[in-house]
Amino acid sequence: MSVTSLEELRERASSSDVRPRVAVAAAHEEHVMGAITKAVSAGMVEVTLVGRGDKIRALLAKLGADPKRYQIVERESDVECVEAAVALVRSGEADVLMKGIVETRDFMRGVVNREKGLRTGRLLSTIGIFEVPGYPKLLSVSDVAITPQPDLAGKRQIVEECVECLHALGIEKPLVGMLSAAEQVNPKVLGSEDAAKIAQMQRDGEIGGCVVEGPISFDLATSPEAARIKHYESPVAGQADLIVVPDLVSGNVLAKSLMGFGGATVAGLVLGASAPIVLTSRSAGVEDKLNSIALAALFARAQAK
């Protein structure tokens, strides 16, 4: 049965006796610790907290958390925190990597380090899974944070990585819309040719486990009424589970519009590394971080099977 809301996502993440271990780089921040302690209390995950031990212990006490449930690895600088957390994942002592109060560029530098990082040869991309008021299911968007302009091969990898993630949520055959400004192929319109090629790859059986339509505009992908008015017939029309954007700017604008104007809440992950990575903004609230931990827990369990 597929997850249709972020509340269901959190409930499902809490319902298993299998608790992936999360290594948190620079955990010494209240919103980070607030999300982590909620996730541990709910039974989603176990945690190793990497950072300034005195601040971590003070925050655990402030939040009323039992310090015996947390492993603490003491490090001072941001670089040291990232290196230690990545090493825990690389060695198999942790199943998920999470960014704490550290700048994204410093965090990702540790992730992509050729000798000590978590690269697999796959493209790294970010999936944002949004609960949008009025939309009957969760709506995912990729890439929203990492790859500026993926080529055709990169877009294929993004689709495959996101579909694998959505399978972990019980969505057996995700409906994928390759986003463009219109449904016609036009060489002058960004991404429209690649969108058609990715859709053809799916129809030819080169991409499995999903249904892909493209190019397709956002309204046709998400509004049954728009599809009816425009006489647009497709399994994806008005029912998209995943929107794959042509470039990073499109994804970032769409994601922030869904949250800022659409009132959406979100869970997010970095995909394509050797383990799921929680890469929420330092300004993200406790709820968004908790949602992302829940998503990482479900995905890590699915990968372990």
pLDDT at position 284, please? 76
What 189-198 contacts at long range (C-beta under 8 Å, 24+ apart), as own/partner pairs, is 189/215, 190/246, 190/247, 190/250, 191/215, 191/245, 191/246, 191/247, 192/246, 194/151, 194/152, 194/155, 194/246, 195/246, 197/152, 198/152, 198/155, 198/156, 198/159, 198/244
Domain boundaries, the chain: 6-120+273-304, 125-260
Tell me the percentage of the chain whose pLDDT exceeds 90: 95
Spatial separation of the C-alpha atoms in residues 92 and 144, rounded to whole Å: 28
Spatial separation of the C-alpha atoms in residues 287 and 38, rounded to whole Å: 10
Spatial separation of the C-alpha atoms in residues 40 and 162, rounded to whole Å: 26
Tell me the percentage of the chain whose pLDDT exceeds 70: 99
Mean pLDDT along residues 214-221: 97
For domain 125-260, give the fold: Isopropylmalate Dehydrogenase (3.40.718)
Residues 37-76 have pLDDT tens digits of: 999 999 999 999 999 999 999 999 999 999 999 999 999 9
pLDDT at position 204, please? 98
Q: What is the DSSP letter of 210?
A: S
Of 229, 265, 3, 262, nearest to 134 (Cα)?
Answer: 262
pLDDT at position 243, please? 98
Name the helix (H) or strand (E) containing 248: helix 248-260
Spatial separation of the C-alpha atoms in residues 17 and 133, rounded to whole Å: 32
pLDDT at position 253, please? 96
Helix (H, G, I), strand (E, B) or coil at 69: helix
Q: Decide if pLDDT at 211 tops 80.
A: yes
Contact 84, 69 (CB under 8 A): no
Q: Decide if pLDDT at 281 tops 90.
A: no
Residues 230-255 have pLDDT tens digits of: 999 999 999 999 999 999 999 999 99
pLDDT at position 203, please? 98
Residues 142-156 have pLDDT tens digits of: 999 999 999 999 999
Q: Decide if pLDDT at 282 tops 70.
A: no
Query: Do 125-260 and 6-120+273-304 have the same topology in CATH?
Result: no
Residues 135-189 have pLDDT tens digits of: 999 999 999 999 999 999 999 999 999 999 999 999 999 999 999 998 999 999 9
Mean pLDDT along residues 15-23: 95
CATH number of the domain at 6-120+273-304, out of 3.40.50.10950, 3.10.20.310, 1.10.4030.10, 3.40.50.2000? 3.40.50.10950
Query: Which residues have CB under 8 Å from 77's CB, separation 6+?
Result: none
Name the helix (H) or strand (E) containing 96: strand 96-99
Q: What is the DSSP letter of 68?
A: G
Which residue(s) pair with 171 in the sheet? none
Q: Could you tell me the two tokens for 136? A: 């009957």
Contact 273, 118 (CB under 8 A): yes
Mean pLDDT along residues 223-236: 96
Q: Could you tell me the two tokens for 84? A: 């230690």
